[in-house]
Amino acid sequence: MRVVAALGGNALLRRGEQPTSEAQVRNVEIAAAALVPLAVSNELVITHGNGPQIGLLALQSAAIEGIEAYPLDILNAETDGMIGYLIERELRERLATKEVATLITMVVVDPADPAFLYPTKPIGMVYPAELEEELRRLHGWALVRDGRGVRRVVASPPPLEIPQLPAIRILLEAGVVVVCGGGGGIPVVLNELGWSGVEAVVDKDRMSAKMAAELGADALLLLTDAPAVLRGFGTDSVEEIRHATPSDFDLAEYDPGSIGPKLEAACWFAVETGGVAGIGRLADAQDILEGRAGTVIRR
């Protein structure tokens, strides 16, 4: 089978953890152990989140006096290289028969998309609520409430095209495990001057679903820290949804800042391709693929 497995940001840095290299290496080791069974018996593409990492780099860049802060597309590329390196390193230690390659991936977006007027995509850490006005004043950030704190949000336009798809196909056909599309890919536009980066973050799950469809993948796995999609979350009658079709869901009922984008991407992939989409814990990746865990969505 050809499988695209998308790792949520919490697979690399858990909520509340300090973004140290030690914490990320420890979490990547756990992720790699869960991905090995998929890699051994399938053609595997691994995408990953980078919200905490790109937010930290943006904050560090903005804190250097006298030097203009790096734009988000360059910071995205930095995190892609860093996280891809860690995943590739750990997989290479565990896979004796397959090569692993990390590919920095661009994603074309529309510069006139309305998303640029209404930033919604959270990146970076959760800051104490009392710092909200100071963060707005110092950095000009758009901020939203996240629990008891605040978090930076940026534009999140939909992905239109993935220029590196031909290279990904070549690697897959050669039997290589491909790590790519980090953080939803690096958002770019093509104009009369050539390729240019833009201040945005493409949703990782939407990009992963598009990539899976374009690659003709049999399955899309959206892996997070939740065991499955929960119906009635926050109420007294919570239940795990194990097997479903896209028509079983009212997407408006699901948190757009959490499980909502994953569910939307999974349903879109199932409808568009007839393939299997699964949502669940990273540790259950193989069981989700085989229909024994998580939420499995079929057309």
Please name the residues in contact with 94: beta carbons below 8 A apart, sequence gap of 6 or more.
32, 33, 36
Which residue out of 42, 49, 184, 204 is catalytically annotated?
204
Q: Which amino acid is at 171?
A: L
Which residue out of 9, 55, 184, 185 is catalytically annotated?
9
Q: Measure the CA–CA gap between 294 and 229, rounded to whole angstroms.
A: 7
CA distances from 174 to 13, 42, 71 (A): 31, 12, 35
Note if 98 is an active site residue.
Answer: no
Note if 10 is an active site residue.
Answer: yes
Which of the 8 DSSP states describes residue 294? S
Note if 262 is an active site residue.
Answer: yes
CA distances from 77 to 74, 105, 186 (A): 5, 8, 7
| Nearest Cα residue to 3 out of 293, 261, 273 | 273
Which residue out of 181, 185, 262, 275 is catalytically annotated?
262
DSSP letter for each residue of 98-124: --EEEE--EEE--TT-GGGGS--EEEE
DSSP letter for each residue of 173-225: HTT-EEEE-GGG-EEEEEETTEEEE-S----HHHHHHHHHHHTT-SEEEEEES
Which residue out of 8, 42, 121, 181 is catalytically annotated?
121
CA distances from 121 to 70, 164, 289 (A): 19, 24, 28
Task: Give the catalytic positions in this structure.
Answer: 9-10, 121, 204, 262
